[in-house]
Structure 1
Amino acid sequence: MFLLSLGEELFKYQEKGFLSFHTPGHKGKREFFEGLNFPEQDLTELSGLDMLHAPQGVIAEAQKRAAQVFGAEESFFLVNGATVGNQAMFLALAGTKGKVLVERQSHRSVMASLVLSGLEPVYLKSIIHPEFHLPLGYEYKIEPQLWRGIQGIHLTYPSYYGTLSDIAPVVRGRELWAPSIPILVDQAHGSHFLSKLFPSGALAWGADLVLHSSHKTLSALTQAAMLHVQGERISRSRLKQALEMLQSSSPSYLLMASLERAVEFAQQENRWNLLFEAVQELHGQAGKALRILNPGDQGQYGIDQLDWSKILVNTSSLGLAAPLAVDFLRTRFRIEPELWDQENILFLLGIGNTPEEVLRLTEGLIAMAEWAHQVNGLGVTPSKLRENTLRSAKELEISLPPLRLTPREAFLAPKRQIPLKESLGKILGESISPYPPGIPWVVMGEEMTPEVLEALLNSPSKRWQGWDNPEHGIWVIEEG
């Protein structure tokens, strides 16, 4: 039996005609790329086309335009995704021997940044939402002593699920206790925060470096992102050096052209206005039968605001496992979500979505709720789902795994591979993240705890990143 080629699989998937409620934000709509020719314009640094790492012409002008639109002093195009932006932010800090305050529920690229920079993390603990069993906010007990000896603070705004914690207390804390400390913000999922329909962007709050994953909700091609900087707390020279080291020396001009286009399309507020009305209708109709994260969740569990373009649905109250619900939506309505676990489904809107597509999602969710009553006779109950649902979201955050080595120390240390069930109490030599969303359950350098071990042993997930080979065990640090 011969497997199809990647190109053939792409065509096969395209022919299924799914409605996209996942990244990228352009949703495959050609209107965002009119006038761009592939493969003729798949070019590199040629005469008249400027150079990404030393821009003086058209790229410099495009980046200047981006800074004006997003409210930065300077903006940089990224062709290696938001991942490289997180890494460059950490390398741009003044020193690499100190500590950095980091959300424990940060993306795995942030943990990789700790390996590259050598900085020691001081984690901000997450708050678990009791109904969704997800870390949708975090604690802000940032007292004076936490600012001493740190090189910076890194926050995620918004979360993958569209929740935003309040940045204002952090900014006030800096003003009071550490005015020279930079605030770095991973705003990967909030590059569309431009109009009054959305929360203010982190630049407006006073962040020094802000990362946009422009392909997630705007119209840029996948892997295209931006990094924005303001103020004097970050060395621009050091930042540019970091980007030059981390990014490709042969940047894609199609990616950069799509970023330039995305800046202009991002200002078309009417697209978002129409989507907003459709989403309010979705909440009004489907919200009667389903538990959907909504404005009523604001002000609790660390949630200050919500991004309405993320639609998080919990299926456990229906007695329906989320994977079954996703199969129903994909089969009956050709709806493709962004991600799901055992009881939650996330639908992600982008600038390329239309109100008609949101209406289709509304119809699909209502039909899914009606169908759930039919399958409840199979013995699947909410209580049973809660037993089978991975308990990591709550249990892993009751107490964070002890940090025994910095991620960099663990990465460079001698390691050996042992069976997973024998790893209790060992210092781990690899980070393990379910993907999506790519948020680590355990980070290299942490000690394996009973809660983490039980969660890994009982997890139904097969989509791991960072775990070298789950079937062969786990890498731990050599003792002695």
Structure 2
Amino acid sequence: MNNKPILAHMKNHFNRQPISLHVPGHHYNTIGRLDKLDYCYDVTEIEGMDDYHHPETIIKDSEYQLSRHESYISKFLVGGTTSGIVSSILGIFNHRQLAGYPIAVMRNAHKSIINAIQVASVNAYILPTKVSNITHEYSSIDLLKIDETILKNIHVAVLTYPNYYGETYNIEEIINFFRERNIITIIDEAHGAHFDITPQFPESSLQFGADVVIQSYHKTLPAFTMSSVIHIKEDNKYKDAILRMLSILQSSSPSYLLMLGLEHAQYFYKTYEDKVFFYQRAQLIEKLKEKNLDVSVVDDPLKLVISSENDTGFQLSKRLCEHGIYTELSNEKFVLLVLPLWHNGDRYPFDDLLKRVDSIQLPHSEFVSSNGDLLLKNTEHGFIDIEYAHQDTIWRSLRHCEGYRAAEPIVPYPPGIPYVLQGEVITDVIITSLMQYIEDGGKIHGVYNHAIRVYE
């Protein structure tokens, strides 16, 4: 057994000279020059430094520069966007006045939101969610199908914007809809840390008065993994409770390197020019189309969805990997690319990327693909009832679970969005879809050796 298996595997990976079309946003340290941060800067709260949990000097000044809108305070997150989401939900529901009230979430809520709901022991109203015509993934809320009677008991709504695939919606309309009903909005803007970076990119929900916005800087900006930022509206009555929960849930010894990376990414954000990016993006799209790949453009220019007539997304992803091109995710139909924020002076091997794409050999038209249907999406509203959490559970073969309720979320990963929520009934359609997804090469959290945990 290798004594350093992670290091050995990393060396093997980089010996292939891989090209990144996936997160994190520094793309193998070719964007933004994170290598300028020396490892010796990994210090702690020694004399002359500052304390993350009680910032008074350099950390306080650096966090002040994170602000993107005068109405918000902003803070480093060294536990990723997950820590910001969980702290926001627990901080708010820690108040006695909200005891017993449910929370509203979208169907494409990341598993961190679902986990926070379980820890907070609150019921959840699952908002009716529309499906995109491009990606066939959850995209926006269907306001016409919302049950207004249920909303009368809702005080907090958690919204996902954009979705994992870079698709946006009229977030201003949605925020105003909830504000008119005195409902606080928490925005999981994990994939929109670069929004507003130039006028060519979508607008952030910060422009429309959301109460809390959490962004994964590491996903699209040159910051280290686990590095995120939370923006809290100054007049949010739960501001102090959220900040207190952040201090409880995050490490008592936050990494200075992570904070330096966030400071570095913020400077990159403020000084970025997009001319090189859009020029090279157009070149890449043209090259992909020359290979007879279908290229779908979404709202976020940083995301591209590509597919092949004769390949599943899983198969296409493997073909790209064979040429050292690593992508963000794949499914039954397509592959998602996360482009770098190319810029003057970057070290990204763009010319090599074009050459590798050009060398890919795709199957001939007579090739019969096993390309199946995408996982069928449930767009109706629903509920997560915490009472189910107190029932006994058993493991059952996936083939024999029809009629049972899922005892934990069943989550294709990536993207980390539950396909079946805890407490939802397993149907024959769900079983068939999951088995096909696994057979095609998909990975699913909550399914172990073709079995899932259900309530007795």
**TM-score when scaled to structure 2?**
0.89
Q: Does the alignment pair 1:426 with 2:398?
A: no
Q: What is the match of residue 302 of structure 1? A: none
Q: Which residue of 2 aligns with 1:449?
A: 427
- Tell me: CA distance 1:423–1:128, structure 2 relative to 1, closer, same or farther (3 Å): same
SS of the counterpart of 1:470?
Answer: coil
Contact in 1 for aligned 2:172/2:205 (Cα 8 Å): no
Deviation at 1:274, TM superposition (A): 1.3
Alignment: residue pair count = 444
Amino acid at match of 1:170: I
Describe the shift of the 1:429–1:118 C-alpha distance in structure 2 as closer, same or farther (beyond 3 A): same
More deviation in 437-446 or 421-430? 421-430
Kindly report which structure 2 residues correspond to 1:393-408, keeping only aligned pairs within 5 A, or say none.
Answer: 395-397=376-378, 403=383, 406=385, 408=386
Q: 272, 277, 280: which one pairs with 1:278?
A: 280
Counterpart of 2:243, as a letter, is K
SS at match of 1:163: coil
Q: Which residue of 2 aligns with 1:341?
A: 331
5+ residue gaps, structure 1, are 296-305
Report the CA distance between 1:253 and its aligned residue.
1.3
Aligned counterpart, 2:444: 464
* 1:19 paired to 2:19: yes
Q: Does 1:120 align with 2:86?
A: no
Which residue of structure 2 lines up, in the alignment, with residue 189 of structure 1?
A: 191
1:287 deviates by 4.5
CA gap 1:356/1:252 in 2 versus in 1, 3 angstroms: closer
Q: Deviations over 1:84-120 (max 9, x none)?
A: 1111121232524212221101111111111122222
In 2, distance between residues paired with 1:414 and 1:241? 34
Letter of the 2:314 partner, please give it.
P
User: Match for 1:90: what amino acid?
Assistant: I
1:198 equivalent in alignment to 2:201: yes
User: CA offset at residue 312 of structure 1?
Assistant: 1.0
Deviations 1:369-426 (A, max 9, x none): xx33x4333333xxx52xx34x41xx232556x64x52x4444543222222232222
- Which one-letter code corresponds to 2:331 in the other structure? D
Q: Which secondary structure state, in structure 2, belongs to the residue aligned with residue 293 of structure 1?
A: strand
Question: Cα deviation per residue 1:28-76 (whole Å; 9 max; x = unaligned)?
Answer: 22753354222x3333322222221221121111111112x46552111
Answer yes or no: is the 8 Å Cα contact 2:184–2:211 preserved in 1. Answer: yes
Q: Is the 8 A contact 1:92 1:234 kept in 2?
A: no
Paired letter, 1:432: I
- Where does 1:236-315 land on structure 2 (aligned, <5 Å)? 236-270=239-273, 272-284=274-286, 286-287=288-289, 289-294=292-297, 306-315=299-308
Is this contact kept in 2: 1:72–1:228, CA < 8 A?
no
Distance 1:96 1:338, change over 3 A: farther
**Comparing 90-99 with 210-219, which one deviates more in the overlay?**
90-99
Alpha-carbon separation, structure 2, partners of 1:277 and 1:125 = 39
> Gapped runs of 5+ residues in structure 2?
none
Which structure has more helix as a fraction of its residues?
1
Equivalent-residue separation in structure 1 for 2:71 and 2:359 (angstroms): 45
Q: Aligned partner of 1:77: which letter?
A: F
- Say if 2:79 is the partner of 1:101: no
Match 1:320 to one of 299, 308, 311 = 311
- Any idea what SS the aligned residue of 2:231 has? strand
- Counterpart position of 1:162: 166
Residue 5 of structure 1, CA deviation:
1.1
- 2:451 aligns to what? 473
Alignment of 1:327-406 (within 5 A): 327-332=318-323, 334-351=324-341, 357=349, 361=353, 368=360, 371-372=361-362, 374-380=363-369, 385=371, 388-389=372-373, 391-392=374-375, 395-397=376-378, 403=383, 406=385
**Could you report, residue by residue, the CA deviation over 1:11-40 in whole angstroms, capped at 9, with x for unpaired residues?**
1111211111111101122753354222x3
- Greater displacement, 353-362 / 128-137: 353-362
CA distance in 2, matches of 1:367, 1:22: 20
- Report % sequence identity: 25
Query: What displacement does 1:440 show?
Result: 0.8
TM-score by length of 1: 0.84
Residues 259-312 of structure 1, C-alpha deviations (whole Å, 9 max, x = no match):
111111111222x331122223444554574332226xxxxxxxxxx0011111
**Residues 1:207 and 2:187 are matched in the alignment:** no
How far, CA to CA, are the matches of 1:430 and 1:159 in structure 2?
22
Partner AA of 2:378 in structure 1? E
- Preserved CA contact (<8 Å) 1:144 1:173: no
Q: Is residue 79–residue 226 contact of structure 2 (8 Å, CA) maintained in 1?
A: yes
In 2: Cα distance, 1:204 partner to 1:34 partner:
33
Give the direction of change, closer, same or farther, for the CA distance of 1:399–1:183 in structure 2 (3 Å limit): closer
- Determine which of 171, 177, 182 is the counterpart of 2:175: 171
Whether contact under 8 Å (1:275, 1:355) holds in the other structure is no
Contact 1:156–1:186 (Cα < 8 Å) also in 2:
yes
Distance change (3 Å), C-alpha of 1:130 and 1:364 = farther
Partners of 1:470 and 1:349 lie apart in 2 by 33
Partners in 1 of 2:127 and 2:14 — Cα distance?
Answer: 41
What is the Cα deviation at residue 2 of structure 1? 5.6
Which one of 436, 447, 457 corresponds to residue 414 of structure 2?
436
- Aligned-partner residue type, residue 431 of structure 1: P
